[in-house]
Structure 1
Amino acid sequence: MPYHLQFGEADPLRIRFALSPLWETHSAVRVLARPRQQGYHLPWLRRIRGAAEGLELGPLHLLMPRRGHSPDFLYPPPRGPAASFDEEIAAVRETDPALAHDDFARALAETPGATASDEGQRMLADPAGAVQRLADLLQAAWEALIAPDWPRLRALLEADVAHHSRRLAEGGLERLLGEIHPGFGWGADSATLTVAYQGEHVRALDGQGLVLMPSVFTWPDVISGFDPPWQPTIAYPARGIGGLWTEATADRTPDALARLLGRARADVLCALDEPAGTTALAHRLGLAPSSVSAHLSVLTEAGLLTSRRYGHQVLYERTPIGIALTGSPVSHPRPE
């Protein structure tokens, strides 16, 4: 059964993209317990297995029913375009215990036996204490599972936002919503966005607009259903997840291009299948950030790359000439 998000006159003017390290942490914890979601992430899972085994994630998993409500306060929609994890977890710790109790009760009721379990009863009896324990678990999960790879994850998420922002400028809102995910359906007559997902949920945006949030660990689902007071939000799988955990190597760089540009500079050019920043490229290629920065400058001056600022960093992507040199296929807009 789908979600139905009903747009009013002002809502298209209040659509924004956002990134959330807290959402990625929560979603990564969910992936650990969901074999269906592990596909693309198997290299990551193998690498973090030891760290994950050292975490007590049972209380978090208890609040992650396979269908139905999960506590929104544990991963609220980010208020800005790119909040830090510390800012987001601080907001979780300030949750009203009464709101937390209601969220706990709804989520526990979705899983048979969860409400009567020792941990479930403990949460309901002391919601304020449970909020702090759960925040501690999310903090530990962030540090062990996500923080070491956050530069890479953030680069992929920012590249997705850059791509879809450009598509919004080129084709408008209706085309953007049709391209983000095959589970999206736009009803022009009713101004309603339908999101294919488990459960039935209808929400009028009422001038609040909509947050579109690319996610690495949400794959293959799209997730919505946030209730007031949270801003309406949709988390969707970011582009490029298939190559996320694949290390870039010199094997993909044509020898002729390496002779023309130099091996390291050619590797930088070939690694830019998606827009990326200096830190992410350095991490991906195993090079010093200063070296990557110098190569990016030369490639940009030569007309092989273009750059744009997004948030705190500069993203680079290949120009048509750069694409031609790497032998990559050129993507064209969908025909009308």
Structure 2
Amino acid sequence: MIELDAAQLSRVRFAVSPLWEVGLAALVLRRADPGVLFRRWAEQSRRDVDATALDRVMALTAGRDFVPDIFSARSGEDQPEISDAPDHLRGMPDELLARDLTRLDRAHRGGHSWIQALGGDHTRAREEIADVVAEFWRGAIAPHWQAFRRLARADIARHALSAADEGQGAMLDGLHPGVVWTGEALDIFGACETSFGPTPADRGVLLTPSAFAWPHVHVMSNAPFQPAIAYGVRGFATLWESSNEEGSFPAMERLVGAGRARVAGAIATPATTTELAHALGIAPATVSEHLRTLRDARLASALRDGRSVVYSLTELGRELLFAGAS
């Protein structure tokens, strides 16, 4: 929970954080299965990024959710670009860098020799981490960055209109299905919190649309950095579509059309209508129509989970989806 009074609420702002994106992307690659929405990007990244750099950037995160202060959002209007990573790291106090490297070494149970070596030489750590981040960025994120920036700008504009029409609280309430504005605080459900303790939100909260946060909300509340929330930008799943001109699921597309095939691909990982609309960047009504068609064709099923309805592929739907899939 992040408490916000009127003054703090007025300081909530948006900013894209390239460095945090690197950390969140590394978390996606750490998963045994990144999920259908990220699978194509993950396969491409593992192919295009140098193997040593890939191993090291993943070593700079841990578990399901730990993104260290190396990637933290900082106070001020501008977030570090990747070219600014060396300066960003040089400006990080030794005690913060040591804290992160110690926690990473503990998370890896002392089993990653590179992390151990960095812990004993902070000058080397700053230089080599910056090099690893730059290499990973070139192969995994740079090819999609301009398209992501367009999505992010559209997403920020949409939230700005919501704030203008309904107020800041309503805008916060619409960030993500797991973010709820109570009138006094943000309740965040199912968050991945990279935090060592609560940080006062005197400077407000930084909201960062992300290509890699979904399905979680990532909360950073580490002093001395500004509290920040990374949420999945609407339509992020379209970012890697152009890498396969023939489409992901040709058999499904021939049967039900490209739009319904995209929805079918998305529910290979069970999801609600709201989650699908957010991830795919299409209207909830359109998602509902596509789901209804898939259910009528016995390719999808629905299961109520509390107040939500979760959709998933049937066995028939899964067989068709992955028949001849690239």
TM-score over 0.5 for the pair: yes
Q: TM-score, normalised by structure 2?
A: 0.66
Residue 49 (str. 1) matches residue 58 (str. 2):
no
SS where residue 221 of structure 2 aligns?
coil
> Is there any run of 5+ residues in structure 2 with no aligned partner, and where?
247-284, 287-326
SS where residue 70 of structure 1 aligns?
coil
Query: Quick one: distance in 1 between partners of 2:214 and 2:160?
Result: 20
Question: Retained in 2: the 8 A contact 1:56–1:137?
Answer: yes
Shift in CA distance, 121/139, structure 1 to aligned 2, threshold 3 Å:
same
Q: Which of 13, 20, 27 is the aligned partner of 1:16?
A: 13
Q: Which of 120, 125, 131 is the aligned partner of 2:115?
A: 120
* 1:136 Cα offset (Å): 0.8
Query: Quick one: distance in 1 between partners of 2:136 and 2:104?
Result: 21
User: What code does the residue aligned with 2:172 have?
Assistant: L
2:67 counterpart residue number: 70
Shift in CA distance, 184/201, structure 1 to aligned 2, threshold 3 Å:
farther
Question: Retained in 1: the 8 A contact 2:75–2:225?
Answer: no
User: What code does the residue aligned with 1:113 have?
Assistant: R
1:293 counterpart residue number: none
Question: Retained in 2: the 8 A contact 1:17–1:212?
Answer: yes
Shift in CA distance, 201/5, structure 1 to aligned 2, threshold 3 Å:
farther
Q: Which of 140, 153, 161 is the aligned partner of 1:158?
A: 153
1:175 counterpart residue number: 170
Shift in CA distance, 89/155, structure 1 to aligned 2, threshold 3 Å:
farther
User: What code does the residue aligned with 2:104 have?
Assistant: A
Q: Which of 211, 215, 219 is the aligned partner of 1:216?
A: 211
Question: Retained in 2: the 8 A contact 1:74–1:92?
Answer: no
Query: Quick one: distance in 2 between partners of 1:124 and 1:88?
Result: 18
Query: Quick one: distance in 2 between partners of 1:216 and 1:222?
Result: 12
Q: Which of 61, 76, 80 is the aligned partner of 1:79?
A: 76
User: What code does the residue aligned with 2:132 have?
Assistant: L
User: What code does the residue aligned with 1:166 have?
Assistant: L
1:131 counterpart residue number: 126
Query: Quick one: distance in 1 between partners of 2:138 and 2:177?
Result: 33
**Where has structure 1 moved over 6 Å in runs of 4 or more?**
none
Question: Retained in 2: the 8 A contact 1:220–1:237?
Answer: yes
Q: TM-score, normalised by structure 1?
A: 0.65
Query: Quick one: distance in 2 between partners of 1:143 and 1:248?
Result: 16
User: What code does the residue aligned with 1:80 have?
Assistant: E
Question: Retained in 2: the 8 A contact 1:37–1:219?
Answer: no
* 1:78 Cα offset (Å): 6.6
Query: Quick one: distance in 2 between partners of 1:172 and 1:20?
Result: 24
Query: Quick one: distance in 2 between partners of 1:204 and 1:130?
Result: 26
SS where residue 214 of structure 1 aligns?
strand
User: What code does the residue aligned with 2:91 have?
Assistant: E
2:262 counterpart residue number: none
Shift in CA distance, 248/112, structure 1 to aligned 2, threshold 3 Å:
closer
Query: Quick one: distance in 2 between partners of 1:202 and 1:99?
Result: 14
Q: Which of 98, 101, 104 is the aligned partner of 1:101?
A: 98
Residue 242 (str. 1) matches residue 233 (str. 2):
no
1:141 counterpart residue number: 136
1:287 counterpart residue number: none
For residues 15-43 of structure 1, give each alpha carbon's deviation from its aligned partner in whole angstroms, at most 9, with x where no partner exists. Answer: 10001222222322332222454421223
For residues 209-248 of structure 1, give each alpha carbon's deviation from its aligned partner in whole angstroms, at most 9, with x where no partner exists. Answer: 0100000011111101331110010000000123332349
For residues 110-133 of structure 1, give each alpha carbon's deviation from its aligned partner in whole angstroms, at most 9, with x where no partner exists. Answer: x2513x643333122112311221
Query: Quick one: distance in 1 between partners of 2:202 and 2:100?
Result: 25
SS where residue 220 of structure 1 aligns?
coil
- Spell out the pairing of 1:298-309 with structure 2 (5 A cutoff): none
Residue 192 (str. 1) matches residue 185 (str. 2):
yes
* 1:158 Cα offset (Å): 1.2
User: What code does the residue aligned with 1:10 have?
Assistant: A
Compute the RMSD of aligned alpha carbons.
3.1
Shift in CA distance, 83/112, structure 1 to aligned 2, threshold 3 Å:
closer
User: What code does the residue aligned with 1:15 have?
Assistant: V
Shift in CA distance, 78/218, structure 1 to aligned 2, threshold 3 Å:
farther
Shift in CA distance, 182/222, structure 1 to aligned 2, threshold 3 Å:
same
Question: Retained in 2: the 8 A contact 1:6–1:203?
Answer: no
> Which of these two proteins has the greater Rg computed from alpha carbons?
1
* 1:185 Cα offset (Å): 2.1
Shift in CA distance, 213/36, structure 1 to aligned 2, threshold 3 Å:
farther
Select the structure with the greater relative contact order (CA < 8 A; seq sep ≥ 6). 1
Q: Which of 26, 29, 32 is the aligned partner of 1:32?
A: 29
User: What code does the residue aligned with 2:185 have?
Assistant: T
Q: Figure out how many residues of one structure are paired with residues of the other and give that number.
A: 247
